[in-house]
Amino acid sequence: MLNLAIYCFYLAISLLITIHIGKLLNQNGVIFLTNQLVGNKPLALAINNLLLIGYYLINIGYILLVLNLGTSAMANGELNGQLYFLTRNLGLVTLMLGAMHMILLYVLANWKPDVQVTEEQ
């Protein structure tokens, strides 16, 4: 029963971190993308929303996959095994979030789209 509580705690913390970071990246990403797209804000908003959906899908999938790591350490029901499970898995999720963010920043910073600004009539 305690293992179920640890799993639920892990899922809750991981999802809260993922959602919070996703909202922050979504808010600040529009400014960056608008600059990269030479002021084309509708396109920047669309790309930003697509990136957010991909971010959530990849990270939630990863969180669920990592859920099975370290289950043998929890088999005996000791507190040490449960703490090991939590710290290891939350650390992996956090490292993956950071790595994805840095890779995406690198890709977007080096992305030079061929965007032509058209005047609206």
Domain boundaries, the chain: 2-28+45-109
Among the ranges given (25-29, 78-82, 90-94, 116-120), the one the predictor scored with the smallest mean pLDDT: 116-120
Q: How would residue 112 be classed by pLDDT, with cut points 50, 70 and 90?
A: confident
What pLDDT sits at residue 16?
94
CB 93 within 8 A of CB 14: yes
What pLDDT sits at residue 110?
82
pTM over 0.85: no
In this predicted structure, the answer to whether residue 62 has a pLDDT above a threshold of 80 is yes
